Chains A and B, each alone.
Chain A
Amino acid sequence: MALEVTGLRVAYGPITAVDGVSLTVEPRTVTSLVGPNGAGKSSAIRAIMGFVRSQGEVLLDGEPLSKRRTHARARAGLAYVPDGRGVFGDMTVKENIRVAAGAGWEARWEALAALFPVLGEKRAARASELSGGQQQALSIARALASAPRYILLDEPSMGLSPVAVKGVVEAIEQLSGTGVGVLLAEQNAALALSVSSMVHVMVRGEIRRSAEPGELRGTDELRALYLGRAAA
């Protein structure tokens, strides 16, 4: 039982954004894709979610997803948290959850409000009125609301203040507690290292290095990859 991605390839015309990426996400774990900008992390996540055409295989607990459209993949058990806080701005916090949860949403709401207290406090507020960090929490809760088996997070810390980033870290740590598997694309390597059990470093569309966080922490490897030779 896992989310298996094999030979993922995404090309926008002559530009190959993702070139043969393979990885596995186990339930209850957090796997990260890190790397400098333009590495293809977001493209990979978006391809797995079905927003862009791609080659390669995506298997969700053995079910092939490659030929399905985005909403079918969502119904199969895949949830998505886009970069830049994906919430429905003109709907209230409660409605955001309801839209994702479908029938039986009231029960789900109680559970989610327990995990993310901010939801309970702000239940009647419009999503666009929340702060960046609160919106990100809502976005993650919304993804959880559809009872997915795997969640894809695309750069959740981007544009957030350091305090809000702490909130995001806590939210991610909650996620694996609920039993889902998490695939995280993050430019913020330190954040990714602190929450993941497995890290894949992507550069220019390929995975250059796969390791456990312990092996990469404190080395110059990442710094060299991000800032080039001059910095290392």
Chain B
Amino acid sequence: MLGYVVNGLAAGGGYALAGVGLSFTIGVARVLNFAFGSFYMLGAYLVAYMTGNAVGLGYLLAVFAMLAGVLVIAYAFGRGVVLPVAHRSEAAVMIATLAASLFITNIALQLFGSDVTFIRSPFEDHVYHVGDARVSQQAIIALIAAPLVTVALVAFLRHTLLGARIRATAQNPQLAGATGINVSSVFLTAVVIGTMLAALAGALYGPTTVIDVFGGDGMLLKAFTVAALAGMGKLWGGDDRRRGDGHRGERLQRVRDALVRRGVHLRAAGPDAAVLPAGRVPRAMTPTMTTAEPKASPATSARPRRRWTLAWVVAAPTLLWLVMLAVDDSTSSILQLAAVVAALAVSFQIVYGLLGELSLGHAALFGVGAYAYASLASRHQPIVLAVVAAGVLGLLAGAAVAAVTVRLGHAYFAVATFAVASLGAVAVSSSGPLGREQGIIGVPAFPGLPGLSQPQTQLIYTGGVLLLCLACLALFRRTRAGLALETVRADAALARALGVDVALARIVATGLSGLLAGIVGAVFAQQARYVSPDVFGLYYIVTPLAVIVVGGLRWTAGAVVGAVVVVVVPQLVGLSPIANQIFAAVVLFAVVVLAPEGVAGALARIGRRERALPTSLGVAAPPDAPPGEPGEVVLKADGVTVRFGALTAAADVSLELRAGEVLGLIGANGAGKSTFVNAVSGLAPLAGGRVWVGGTELTKRRAHVRVRHGLARTFQQVLIAEDLTTRQNLAVAASQGRFFRTRASGQAIERAAADCGLTPLLDVHASALSFMDRRLLSIAMALAPEPAVVLLDEATAGLSEQERVSVRQLVRGVAGTRGTAFIVIEHDVAFVTEVSDRMAVMNHGRLIVEGPSGVVLADPEVVTSYLGTA
């Protein structure tokens, strides 16, 4: 017994060492390195090679030589793979390192072959007998290595200057830079140290077991588990929960980051520098105000779109038929594989392209479908039943994965789905009825089609499932559910504010994706005539990803283009399977670094330059109505208190708002205005107090529900779904985030657009709009659900004098004609004075004064709070 424990601990030592390395990389460089497992394998293999017959070094010498070699490789990896993408999204880093992992694994396969090998270590030969098990010296070494290295690492971090610098960078990279620390160098050091520890783990643990090229994948998951259990803390990412009146420095950084994310290139331009977004038509910033003559007829009507769709419905199957007739058998089998991969990629696109979550588990859903079909069909069940089962199981698996991971951050989601795929492989490999490692052979194919040969039939089936997936994607993108997903992708906080149930959206997306992946799995199984645990493997995880990234995430037909590049071309050229995968890895990495939007992005950029934008109509001046009596109370806040740790951002704030009123909320920076608004809209947790909208208490309700009770808001940054048109953005808002069209929404869209003068721009992509029009769109999105109360958070930031006049007219107009109540947070005191009926001032989290503007602004406490004391 004791022997098993010791051996188990030795294995644990190997994982622990790897875990230490991974946490170091994640903690300092904030990078989730998917190539980590490959370095573990590389360490083991290099030592095996050097202690083997060809070279014949002693074990210890081999380990040192290996470390020297890995140092060079790790440095190249850090500089060449990680640093170029480190400043971009977490997804970019994960994909880049995943590509590197595929690359390294296949190079190793090429060099070392797929046979297992051994490391000759003298320590493995010295064996102790503990109880009834044998424990080698090597196992003991592996066991004590992890704590020793950890102690050494901690000592290094704590007592050396370099260690202090590394810790400082881990805590606050920006401040570290300001202190003179070269943050990129520190990141690189962390990546190198982390990967070297992985290689060392491979070398130390390797002699106790067999080495094979695929040992790395499992190690990555084990290392990640160790690191997570050890308290890596919340991995960066997660939902964007707005933190309210954050420090201004942070806010500006967020604005900048948001703009950079949208492709606004911050080039230092020439003297006449309006810095323009790449590829967009420049629009003068002088808005067209006051007049409201309707200009050209609405940009595009529904009819051209239907014609376009009809063309595809006819052309695509015809094209498929022609291709089938034209190609020979060997090309046909290449195309069949490409079609399956592309179809799988399309199902993956629903989760990654629409929802924006990097799911690495598509192989699992695909595998589930393949095995379901294979086991049912080979047991003589009707084929239709087998296919349906495949789809249903895929759907359930997808929904289950999403439900379990729903509150986790992006990185956790990626790793969790990756783990599910690995789990799937293990599960089927150990299952007798599912054929263990051999899988299931002799899987029946779908019935032949009259007059067609076998390859032709299969091309029709595989091509057909691809067309089915494309059609589903294209149709789904147009539904309210599809649009709701895209808003989640744009910004989770925005989606919640519009009423989208983000958790449900994730489950729906992954479930639908699972349904399609399962069916594709069934088609694959019947085409290949067998299934094996390989369907859960790295090839089916990475290749669809590569296909989508190359083709373009945002393009419905992207998978087809991507599949041609990634699957068809290398096969036609006659690359070996290994070279094939290396090619896929290289292409994937190149695209991620150089052209992240893929072929689709390149085409879109060309297309956009040629189109001129219609101009917005501007906001009409409100009718000259006498100010009416304010109506009944529509918003009541009582004792609202918000704490972030030790900081009380809002303290006991109470106020009431009546229908048709405009309340200006002002205060010095850091006073708590945004925090209060976040608390009312449900995006910041209440430490105390209650909130009512209409008569309904919303204190404990989730954020996305609040819009359905009449509460809408905008954000300090302009938050809109960039990749959707104006109309689509408004559609999500008008349906209050629901997954289906509501009865009143069509009219609500038109009305909100008309209020803000955006009618001519309804079918224009939001990313092409000018800054002012985007600002107006975000306000229109708050008006579209026809709320009782609208919270406007710094709606005039960045606007010119003229544009502020428009916003003022808009607010007064809507308040007067529709009785909507507004809370307007502003720093521009002059603007607020003119737009509001009364004002409230916050300072240090408290509401200090409330009343008509003249009175409030003359109050000495208010003046002091703004101008300060010394």
**Cβ-closest chain A residue relative to B857:** A231
When the two chains form their complex, are residues A91 and B168 in contact, meaning their CB atoms are under 8 A apart?
Answer: yes
Is there a chain B Cβ closer than 8 Å to A102's Cβ?
yes
Q: Does B854 contact A (CB under 8 A)?
A: yes
Nearest CB of A to B110, in Å: 40
Docked pose: A11 CA to B829 CA in angstroms: 23
Q: Mark B654-688, 1 if CB is under 8 A from A, else 0.
A: 00000000000000111000000000000000000
Given contacts A51-B178, A51-B253, 19 further A-B contacts (CB under 8 A): A13-B275, A14-B274, A52-B266, A70-B178, A88-B167, A95-B167, A99-B164, A99-B165, A100-B179, A102-B180, A146-B179, A154-B249, A157-B868, A188-B869, A190-B868, A190-B869, A226-B867, A227-B829, A230-B833
Q: Which residues on B sit within 8 Å (CB–CB) of A51?
A: 174, 177-178, 253
Complex CA gap A55/B271 in Å reads 9
Question: Is A226 within 8 A of B829, CB to CB?
Answer: yes
**B148 contacts the other chain (CB 8 A):** no
How far apart sit A69 and B176, CA to CA, in the bound complex (Å)?
A: 13
Closest-by-CB residue of A relative to B859 is A231
A46 in contact (CB, < 8 A)? yes
**C-alpha gap A193/B853 in the complex (Å):** 28
Residues of A within 8 A of B670 (CB): 158-159
Tell whether, in the assembled complex, residue B798 and residue A15 are in contact, meaning their CB atoms are under 8 Å apart.
yes
Chain B 168-194, CB-CB to A under 8 Å as 1, else 0, gives 100110111111111100000000000
B636 interfacial by beta-carbon distance below 8 Å? no
Neighbouring B residues of A90 by C-beta, 8 Å: 167, 171
* 8 A Cβ contacts from B240-273 to A: 247-250, 252-253, 255-256, 259, 264, 266-269, 273
Q: List 17 A-B contacts (CB under 8 A).
A: A12-B256, A49-B178, A55-B268, A71-B177, A71-B179, A75-B180, A83-B247, A84-B247, A91-B164, A155-B248, A159-B647, A165-B870, A169-B870, A190-B868, A190-B870, A223-B863, A226-B867
Interchain CB contact under 8 A, B178 and A162: no
Chain A CB within 8 A of B828 CB: yes
**Counting CB contacts under 8 A, is A36 at the interface?**
yes
Partner of B868, one of A14, A87, A102, A191: A191
A98 to B165, CA, bound (A): 9
Chain A residues near B247: list those with CB within 8 A. Answer: 83-84, 158-159
* Complex CA distance for A17 and B161, rounded to whole angstroms: 38
Is A64 part of the binding interface, using a Cβ–Cβ cutoff of 8 Å?
no
B156 at the interface (CB under 8 A from A): no
List A176-192 residues whose CB lies under 8 Å from chain B: 186-191
The distance in angstroms between the C-alpha atoms of A37 and B868, with both chains bound, is 13
Residue of A nearest to B178 (CB): A80
Residue A142, interface by CB 8 Å: yes
| Interface residue? B830 (CB, 8 A) | yes
Which residues of chain B come closer than 8 Å to A142, judged between CB atoms? 179
- B272 CB to nearest chain A CB (Å): 11
Alpha-carbon gap, A51 to B870, bound state (A): 29
Flag whether B285 is at the interface (Cβ < 8 A).
yes
Residues of A whose CB lies within 8 Å of any CB of B are: 9, 11-15, 17, 36-38, 42-43, 46, 49, 51-55, 69-71, 74-75, 79-80, 82-84, 86-91, 95, 98-100, 102-103, 142, 146, 154-155, 157-159, 162, 165, 169, 186-191, 193-195, 222-223, 226-231
CB of A74 within 8 A of CB of B179, answer: yes
Measured between beta carbons, the chain B residues less than 8 angstroms from A12 are 252, 255-256, 259, 264, 266
A53 touches B266 (CB 8 A): yes
Query: CB within 8 A of B183: which of A15, A17, A55, A71?
Result: A71
User: Which A residues are CB-close (under 8 A) to B268?
Assistant: 53-55
Q: Are A91 and B770 in contact (CB under 8 A)?
A: no
Most buried by B among A13, A14, A190, A229: A13
Which residues on the A side are within 8 Å of B854 (C-beta)? 230
Task: Give the docked Cα–Cα distance between A229 and B831 (Å).
Answer: 11
Contact B669 A91 (CB under 8 A): no
In Å, the complex CA distance between A79 and B857 comes to 38
Count chain A CB atoms within 10 A of each CB in B175, B255, B853 and give the residue with the most: B175
Answer whether residue B858 sits at the interface, using C-beta atoms and an 8 A cutoff.
yes
Contact A146 B175 (CB under 8 A): no
Q: Do the beta carbons of A103 and B178 come within 8 Å of each other?
A: no
Q: Is the CB of B175 within 8 A of A82?
A: yes
The distance in angstroms between the C-alpha atoms of A88 and B176, with both chains bound, is 9
B426 at the interface (CB under 8 A from A): no
A38: chain B residues at CB < 8 Å are 797, 827-828
Do A43 and B252 touch (CB < 8 A)? yes
* Contact yes or no, A226 B866, CB < 8 A: yes
Partner of B829, one of A154, A165, A231: A231
Contact B863 A231 (CB under 8 A): yes
Asked whether, in the complex, the Cβ of A74 is within 8 Å of the Cβ of B858, the reply is: no
Q: Which residue of B lies closest to A162 (CB)?
A: B869
Q: Which of B175, B252, B770, B857 is in CB contact (< 8 Å) with A230? A: B857
**Interface positions of B from 828 to 870, Cβ below 8 Å from A:** 828-830, 833, 853-854, 857-858, 862-863, 866-870
Given A14-B274, A91-B171, A188-B868: A98 and B164 interface contact (C-beta under 8 Å): yes
- Determine which of A191, A229, A230 lies in contact with B870 in the assembled complex, contact meaning CB atoms within 8 Å: A191
Q: Is the CB of A222 within 8 A of B867?
A: yes
Give the distance to chain B from A124, nearest Cβ to Cβ, in Å.
Answer: 13
Cβ-closest 7 pairs across A and B: A188-B868, A228-B830, A74-B180, A84-B247, A194-B870, A15-B798, A37-B827
CA distance A79 to B771 in the complex (A): 35
A189 vs B863: C-alpha distance in the bound complex, in angstroms?
Answer: 11
Q: Does B287 contact A (CB under 8 A)?
A: no
CB distance from A12 to the nearest CB of B (A): 5
In the bound complex, do residue A102 and residue B161 qualify as a contact, i.e. CB atoms below 8 Å apart? yes
Question: How far is A222 from B864 in the complex, measured between Cα atoms in Å?
Answer: 12
- CB interface residues, B 270-285, toward A, < 8 Å: 273-275, 277, 285
Which of these, B161, B862, B867, contacts A103 with CB under 8 Å?
B161
B868 touches A189 (CB 8 A): yes
Cβ 8 A contact of B252, one of A42, A71, A74, A194: A42
List chain B residues, Cβ under 8 A from A83.
247-249
Q: Which residue of B lies closest to A54 (CB)?
A: B268
CB-CB under 8 A from B866, the residues of chain A are 36, 187, 226-227
Nearest-neighbor residue (CB-CB) of B770 within chain A: A14
Chain A proximity of B444: nearest CB distance (Å) = 58
A169-B869 Cα distance, complex, nearest whole Å:
11
| Bound CA–CA A13/B771 (angstroms) | 9
Interface residues of B in 706-746 (CB under 8 A from A): none
The residue among B168, B770, B870 with the most chain A CB atoms within 10 A of its own CB is: B870
Within the complex, the shortest CB–CB distance from B770 to chain A, in Å, comes to 7
Interchain nearest-CB distance for A142 vs B (Å): 7
| Closest-CB distance, A228 to chain B (whole angstroms) | 3
In the bound assembly, the distance between CA atoms of A70 and B178 in angstroms comes to 6
Which listed residue (B177, B252, B285, B827) contacts A17, Cβ 8 A?
B252
Chain B nearest CB, measured from A83 CB (Å): 5
Given A14-B285, A70-B177: A46 in contact with B252 (beta carbons within 8 A): yes
- Contacts A90-B171, A154-B249 given; indicate if A100 touches B830 (C-beta within 8 A): no
Question: Is there an interface contact between B858 and A231, defined as CB atoms closer than 8 Å?
Answer: yes
CB of A171, distance to nearest CB on chain B (Å): 13
- Which one of B172, B275, B830 contacts A14 once the chains associate, using CB atoms below 8 Å? B275
Closest to B180 in A: A74
**Which residues of the other chain, A, contact B183 by a CB distance below 8 angstroms?**
71
When chains A and B are docked, how far (Å) is the Cα of A222 from the Cα of B867? 8
* In the complex, per-residue mask of B493-522: 1 if CB is within 8 Å of any chain A CB, else 0: 000000000000000000000000000000
Q: Are A79 and B829 in contact (CB under 8 A)?
A: no
How far is it, in angstroms, between the C-alpha of A70 and the C-alpha of B869 when the chains are bound?
33
Contact B863 A99 (CB under 8 A): no
Closest residue on chain A to residue B832 by CB atoms = A228
Q: How long is the Cα–Cα vector from A79 to B255 in the complex, in angstroms?
A: 24
Residue of B275, B797, B863 with most chain A CB atoms under a 10 A cut-off: B275
Write the chain B residue with the least CB distance to A70. Answer: B177
Tell me the bound Cα distance from A87 to B274 in angstroms: 36
CB-CB nearest in chain B for A81: B178
The smallest C-beta distance from B838 to any residue of chain A, in angstroms, reads 13
Is there contact, CB below 8 Å, between A9 and B870?
Answer: no
How far is it, in angstroms, between the C-alpha of A99 and the C-alpha of B259 when the chains are bound?
33
